[in-house]
Amino acid sequence: MARCIMVQGTMSGAGKSLLVTALCRIFRQDGWRVAPFKSQNMALNSYITRDGLEMGRAQVAQAEAAGKEPDVRMNPILLKPSSDTGSQLIVNGEVRGQYDAARYFRMRESLVPDILAAYNSLAAENDILVIEGAGSPAEINLKGDIVNMGLARLVDAPVLLAGDIDRGGVFAQLYGTVALLEPEDRARVKGLLINKFRGDVNLLTPGLEQLRQLTGVPVLGVVPYTRADIDDEDSLAPRLEETRTHRPLDVAVIRLPHISNFTDFSPLESHPALGVRYVQRPGELGQPDLTVLPGTKNTMGDLVWLRESGFASAVQNLAAAGHPVLGVCGGYQMLGRRLDDPDGVEQQGSQPGLCLLPCVTRFTGQKTRTRVQGRTLAGPLAGAGLDAYEIHMGRTDTGDAEPFARLADGTPEGAAAGCVFGTYLHGLFDTGELTDKLAAWLLERRGLPSAAARAESHTAYKQRQYDLLADAVRAALDMEAVYRILDKH
């Protein structure tokens, strides 16, 4: 059975996912068979594996860093929030139902057999498992968790506890978290990490020693704020607040309230000609070279928001003036004439869409989850190879629209009309071919040269980012101490 080590954090956003990604890469570089594991993930960024099962994107990045094919066993429980109080529950990649917070809290311990089966199966195939916690282990109102110390007890995992110095108060974060733990759990914490540090580390040294004396736990590293470009776990990530204006083309992604799978656009962000920004108010939109309506976990609700906020009329005006518009998944559904939900899958009733595509979507209880290959057909984007996946509720009648793409089995996919494009395909830019086609077309529309604007393979780009992240963490972390912790457990 594999040895294991667990990374927990003092709060959500402390950098657990990136630290696990880095450790997966470091252990792989050191010659070990390694895999990530997160028993329960709550995120709207999800992925479809080769066998058609759904898992969180963070564990996909960690698997890639470990040199492994993403496997649903790495994330057996996925919660996809659909409202402030409810989530879709996915167990071993399959939808189990819709749960409000109280109902899920009452039944979560029944999921322990699924968690342990996934963990033990992975452990039998690897030398090391790197486990990620969620939120904070010191939530004293949520005893009996299945993702932090509760899981650590089940699999006898030693813990590294990470605090985020970028938010301030990191010494209080780490000391307070350790102090609130039960004695049994406190004994599991073998090392403290200070994450996202900017500045002279020597200025921290007196505080590090005092923290060790107060907690009895050594600080194993001060990890710098890294610029490695790794896919974020969820839509609360800081990257959605960034505006990139130093590139010749402007791509505006509307930040829907329930935005999902925004990592679809990560390949665009690494293209030398494309500046990608996320906009939350119509006044920020302007006249971009491309407007994107992304995926969402609540298409009907976000369509109401789109109309009430003024974004709907702004997008319609842009399209009427000939500006390109792209809708992906839920965004594609919004571009149609009408959305029908007779069974209340999302929000019972019907709504008019933006009427930019001659499509009608009908929601059903069946969820589409599939990996696909194909090639684009639509106008200036035609000919790009696609290796993507579908993950959506609902079926769309495309009317007399031109298909956006044709799948490898001959099935038409999506819809296009003039400069408006809609598709269900997530990961549509990952091969780099559509990214190049899009950039060349948009540059031509602006009268700008396009010969030198080529996309790096997104796979190669991501692998380079994993190495950059691993190098930064290895240099900051006492890896000899980490291996000693592994060997003692």
Look at the block and give the residue holding tokens 């989530």: 87
Alpha-carbon gap, residue 158 to 191, rounded angstroms: 9
Alpha-carbon gap, residue 62 to 227, rounded angstroms: 17
| 359 annotated active-site | no
- Phi/psi region, residue 137 (left: phi>0; alpha: psi -120 to 50; beta: rest), is alpha
Q: Which of 16, 35, 113, 116 is nearest to 74 (CA)?
A: 35
Q: Phi first, then psi: what are they for 453, rounded to 5°?
A: -90, 90
The first and second tokens of residue 234, run together, are 């969820």
Whether 388 and 372 have beta carbons less than 8 Å apart is answered as yes
- The identity of residue 313, as a single letter, is S
Which residues have C-beta within 8 Å of that of residue 459, sequence separation ≥ 6? 430
Q: Which of 486, 67, 442, 44 is nearest to 249 (CA)?
A: 442
| 246 annotated active-site | no
The helix/strand/coil state of 211 is helix
DSSP string of 235-296, one letter each residue: TTSGGGG----SSSEEEEEE--TTEE-GGGGHHHHTSTTEEEEEESSGGGT-S-SEEEE-EE
The first and second tokens of residue 269, run together, are 């962000």
The first and second tokens of residue 65, run together, are 């860093």
Whether 433 and 374 have beta carbons less than 8 Å apart is answered as no
Which member of 329, 359, 419, 458 is catalytic?
A: 329
Which member of 271, 392, 426, 458 is catalytic?
A: 426
Cα of first residue to Cα of last residue in the chain, in angstroms, is 12
Q: Where are the beta strands (DSSP E) in 401-440?
A: 405-407, 412-413, 415-417, 420-423
Whether 376 and 418 have beta carbons less than 8 Å apart is answered as no
Write down how long the chain is.
489
Whether 467 and 25 have beta carbons less than 8 Å apart is answered as yes
The first and second tokens of residue 217, run together, are 């736990």
- Would you state the torsion angle of the CA atoms of residues 53, 57, 63, 69, taken in this order, to the nearest 10 degrees? 30
Catalytic (active-site) positions: 329, 426
